[in-house]
Structure 1
Amino acid sequence: MTFARAYAAKQMSAHDAVGMIHDGDTVVLPTGVGETPALLEALSEQRREFRDVTVSQILPLRTFDYLEPETRGHVRHAALFLGGPTRKGAQDGWIDVRHSNFSEMPELFRRGLLPVDVVFAMASEMDEHGYFSISLSTDYTLAAIEKARAVVLEVNPQVPYAYGDCHVHLDQVAAVVEDDRPLATVGLPKIDEVEKAIGGHVADMIPDGATLQIGYGAIPDAVVMQLTGRTDLNIHTEMIGDGILSLTESGAVTNRGKSVKPGVSLATFALGSERLYSWMHRNRGLEMHPVDFTNDPAIAGANDLLHTINGTIEIDFTGQCCSESIGYKPYSGTGGQSDFVRAGNRSRGGKSFIVLPSTAKGGTISRITPTLKPGAFVSTSKNDVDHVVTEYGVAQLRGATSAQRAERLIAIAHPDFREELGIKAQEMHLL
């Protein structure tokens, strides 16, 4: 049978494909843009026909009807990383939260520690050899596919066919659903003066020839916009976005100096504009790989001059970073922060940066605190944190004593809070 005939035999409606789910199943979805809107709409419409089905995913972008507390006994969400559609449900207790470093999720699926029965994934059109590209979100999806009973691809002609280890063969697929709606897009964030100042401090410490991991957000993009004058930069990151696209188009990125996959930018998921997705299509200068490759600290850290940039919510005097909760209330997830902090520490000549504005809530709260809020999740440990950056400067913590850490962090806190923080540090016998 030709691939075209085999494809036609597996093609069905989203409504029918949802019938492959059994009561008690866990349905795994890729990160962000890789989620499958046609299939999730069909699942939402039929949700009351199921019992005890779980949808497991990192960073959902759209709000579907199955995300209702009233029907959680039929279909319930288990978050690997929270987004806008799932944050309140997690804080109220009717959405489950699973905790893991991003890099370790594929192995957790392989070991059965993260359950999977069915995989829904967005994919490109099939090539002449029977392969689809799951370019938008390679992440943990290939590992989940290895373990799943059934794999359903939502094929959209707007999904780029990317290179790398991001392909699924028709033989692995139980059903194909076609949909041509526009892909989800995320524009560049607005950058204020505080974020621009933080970005400037980081950019000043990034040399020509550096390899970069840059996450999503205003501060990482503020760094990127101040690096266009650099030469021979390299990209080894988890997320490819419009900031990196702009940096590449400026000519600053050549990928000549990488130890891991020289000559190409590496990422595991994409989040950006239609222009970004178009640029990804059959681009030999980009490869998409599973997250246990891109985020493995040993692999990423094999690149010389690896510079990693990640945000946090608050940091205490020891350097512990809470990046995923507000007190005990979950806000996002661990993601790849600790993966890349450790990778930057391993890299010869590398640095890791934790970035944050000095205050929150209109300047009424200091993000640099003597201790984290009760119940706060520690995302990056005191033993791993390297450079901490606010708009007031850089505190280098790695190798520093407890007293040095407190002193350096107070020096980059907002001036309105430095006296208060200093008094507290004295009470704690740090100064």
Structure 2
Amino acid sequence: MQSVVSQFNNQIDWSSIIKSGDRIFLGSNAAIPNALVDSLIENGKKIKDIEVTHIGTLSDERWALPEHQQQFKVNTFFIHGKVIRQAVDEGRADYTPCFLSEISSLFANDILPLDAALIMVGPPDQLGYCSLGVSVDIVMSAARSAKKIVAQINPQMPRTAGHSFLHISEFAACIHHEQKLPEIKPAERSDIYERIGQYVAMLVDNGSTLQLGIGKIPDATLSYLGKHKNLGIHSEMISDGVIELIRSGVINNRAKTFHPGKSVVSFCMGTQHLYDFVHNNPHIEFYPSSYVNKPTNIAKNDNLVSINSALEVDLTGQVVADSIGHDFYSGIGGQVDFVTGATLSKGGKPIIALPSTAKNGTVSRIVANIKEGAGVVTSRGNVHYIVTEFGVASLKGKSIRERALELIRVAHPKFRQALLESVRQHYWVPDYQTKFPTDIPELGELQLQEMEIQGEMFYLRPLNPADERRLQEFFYSHTKETLRLRYNYVPQGMSRQNSCDLVSVDQTKDIALTIVNQQGSSVKIEAVGRYYLNPDNSCEVAFITRENQQGKGMASRLMKQMISIAQQRGVSKMVAYVRSENKPMITVFEQFQFKRVFNPDPAEVELVLFLQES
């Protein structure tokens, strides 16, 4: 190995490699060749107006400082650090938006031709091949397109599997410089991100293939996947959060339909523990972003779940991810690639997850209108799920009005009324739509309970205004006999207005719960339980269950939950009025110690449960 390296000098004659006005590429993420940058700054001062292209960089980004603006002009595809962000804000640097999967074509098609690529690699093996290590992403594409490659050989660079190798003979020059890779420590846990992670994890089925990034939301999500089975990875990047799931066998890539048995990524960022984990690990393969992020390749993975974030989302589902108003903050990156790929995937789920507020809770990230100057990265047509700490908004197949109601439900409660009022200024909302969702504190932070009934998964949660059409469908699924037993007569119809009234409940006073069967974006109401608070602090309770679900204990589940809530709220007693021939329902009430009391109507049974001790 030494004989191969020794043919290169550790001092680079930059004037023989690049000239003033050239365009160069800098290695990405945790693989910034800092020694090459330092050498170029110090020894290439006579070379002016060098255009520097790159994506995210874990570095001090000194090439973008004002004192070097005569030597370098940055054109970045992703804004990562404060130095680059300030340079873009001040006009000393440019931001070029582009899908990560397509950046390589800018180089290959001479739209942005590269004169040189400055990269970091690991030591050559006995055959002279060097690994790009933790950052293949667009580095490989840039190296293949650039007229010259200049390499920093770093003994601390992990050797990674996949399409990650360049031969040392391809380098116009190189230096041997040891450099510790920059680390990103796992984010501190917080209640908000924990709840978001729990909700996202609920959308991940066994056998899914995951795309995720780095930060609090991916870390929280991964921490709740420990009981899942046969998960896979096809992701532009991975971080420390995947390590334990791989070691425990939760992520085994067994169910993958594209590169089965392998975790497929283009780069990784995290701690030294992660870098050690990917070193010589044959189960994790690194490929260029043009391959990993190609939507048609992503879609070859069945059940692909993409998890991305946003700066704000408007009430129609438009996702802003690269700018705050006119101020560019990050970049398009791979979000659209994976949202598109997950949409095309059989059983795929594109998810956008974000906290409901910013600036210490003073600003809603769910907004009626995106800020002036902000750009839509992911369109409203691509979004299936928006997740905040207040729940999951399912948008696929929803009208603009239904989307608004879904998104208001997952907005922070203190902004919900203002959001509903704002919707009316721009989109048609019927006069009867006056209520916004309210929570049931007694139901817990997640506002839902996952339950298995006869081998099938269901969710118990509050009814909300977004359930209007679902409740109408639920009503029309009933037989006349079911309706007669529930209402004591046969209603002739359920208008959208009536349905709206029934789902727009002030849950701080009355209670309206439902058990739903949710398969992807398809949600079906299977049972509904309600109680109405009376002026004397008693409440009247009632249930109705879809015919094919009767006898499975759904009414009992709802009953148990409502008794618990009523007791916590200090309700004095619960009263139920049931048709005398409705024996199954009477049995449910009596199982919960409801007692029959005198009722002058022989066709009706009145039952009472006293909740508070006298």
Contact 1:191 1:219 in 2 (8 A): no
Contact 1:370 1:424 in 2 (8 A): yes
1:238 aligns with 236
1:3-62 CA-partner distances (Å, limit 9, x unpaired): 7545322x2225545752211111102221111010111122245322110111111221
Q: Does 1:154 align with 2:152?
A: yes
1:212-269 CA-partner distances (Å, limit 9, x unpaired): 0011110111100110111111010011210112321232111111111111101001
Q: With structure 2 as the length reference, what TM-score do the two structures score? A: 0.68
Contact 1:163 1:287 in 2 (8 A): yes
Q: Secondary structure at the match of 1:21?
A: coil
Q: Secondary structure at the match of 2:30?
A: helix
Contact 1:44 1:65 in 2 (8 A): no
Which one is further off, 167-176 or 314-323? Answer: 167-176
Contact 2:364 2:412 in 1 (8 A): yes
1:32 aligns with 29
How far apart, in 1, do the equivalents of 2:15 and 2:353 lie?
A: 42
Q: Does 1:263 align with 2:261?
A: yes
How far apart, in 1, do the equivalents of 2:133 and 2:4 lie?
A: 22
The equivalent position to 1:163 in structure 2, one of 161, 164, 169, is: 161
1:142-182 CA-partner distances (Å, limit 9, x unpaired): 22222212101111111111111111112211112111121
How far apart, in 2, do the equivalents of 1:89 and 1:28 lie?
A: 18
2:562 aligns with none
1:257-316 CA-partner distances (Å, limit 9, x unpaired): 111111110100110111111111111101000001111111011111110100100011
Contact 1:133 1:168 in 2 (8 A): yes
- CA 1:64 to 1:387, structure 2 compared with 1: closer, same or farther past 3 Å? closer
How far apart, in 1, do the equivalents of 2:16 and 2:181 lie?
A: 25
Contact 2:12 2:173 in 1 (8 A): no
How far apart, in 2, do the equivalents of 1:374 and 1:109 lie?
A: 32
The equivalent position to 2:198 in structure 1, one of 195, 200, 204, is: 200
How far apart, in 2, do the equivalents of 1:209 and 1:245 lie?
A: 18
Give the C-alpha shift of residue 89 in structure 1: 1.2
Q: Secondary structure at the match of 1:252?
A: coil
2:398 aligns with 400
Q: With structure 1 as the length reference, what TM-score do the two structures score? A: 0.96
How far apart, in 2, do the equivalents of 1:172 and 1:74 lie?
A: 26
Counterpart amino acid of 2:287?
A: H
Give the C-alpha shift of residue 337 in structure 1: 0.3
Give the C-alpha shift of residue 87 in structure 1: 1.1
Contact 1:43 1:66 in 2 (8 A): no
Contact 1:26 1:53 in 2 (8 A): yes
1:189-208 CA-partner distances (Å, limit 9, x unpaired): 11211111011001011111
How far apart, in 2, do the equivalents of 1:387 and 1:166 lie?
A: 34
1:293 aligns with 291
Give the C-alpha shift of residue 377 in structure 1: 1.5
Contact 1:134 1:166 in 2 (8 A): yes
Give structure 1 stretches of 5+ with no counterpart: none
How far apart, in 1, do the equivalents of 2:232 and 2:47 lie?
A: 47
Q: Does 1:59 align with 2:49?
A: no
Give the C-alpha shift of residue 64 in structure 1: 4.2
1:427 aligns with 425
Contact 1:14 1:38 in 2 (8 A): no
Counterpart amino acid of 2:185?
A: G
Counterpart amino acid of 1:220?
A: P
Counterpart amino acid of 1:61?
A: L
Structure 1 vs Structure 2 CA RMSD: 1.5
Percent identity over paired residues = 35
Counterparts of 1:12-27 in structure 2 under 5 Å? 12-16=9-13, 20-27=17-24
Which one is further off, 42-51 or 70-79? Answer: 42-51
Counterpart amino acid of 2:261?
A: G
The equivalent position to 1:81 in structure 2, one of 78, 83, 90, is: 78
1:370-390 CA-partner distances (Å, limit 9, x unpaired): 111011021111111110001
How far apart, in 1, do the equivalents of 2:294 and 2:242 lie?
A: 20
How far apart, in 2, do the equivalents of 1:46 and 1:32 lie?
A: 24
Counterpart amino acid of 1:429?
A: Y
- Higher relative contact order, chain-length normalized (CA < 8 Å, sep 6+): 1
Counterpart amino acid of 1:402?
A: I
Give structure 2 stretches of 5+ with no counterpart: 430-614
Which one is further off, 26-35 or 216-225? Answer: 26-35
- CA 1:176 to 1:230, structure 2 compared with 1: closer, same or farther past 3 Å? same
How far apart, in 1, do the equivalents of 2:28 and 2:315 lie?
A: 34
Counterpart amino acid of 2:280?
A: R
Q: Secondary structure at the match of 1:66?
A: helix
Q: Does 1:362 align with 2:354?
A: no
2:325 aligns with 327
Q: Secondary structure at the match of 2:169?
A: helix
How far apart, in 2, do the equivalents of 1:236 and 1:429 lie?
A: 38
How far apart, in 1, do the equivalents of 2:124 and 2:236 lie?
A: 25
- CA 1:196 to 1:421, structure 2 compared with 1: closer, same or farther past 3 Å? same
Counterparts of 1:370-385 in structure 2 under 5 Å? 370-385=368-383
Contact 2:4 2:128 in 1 (8 A): no
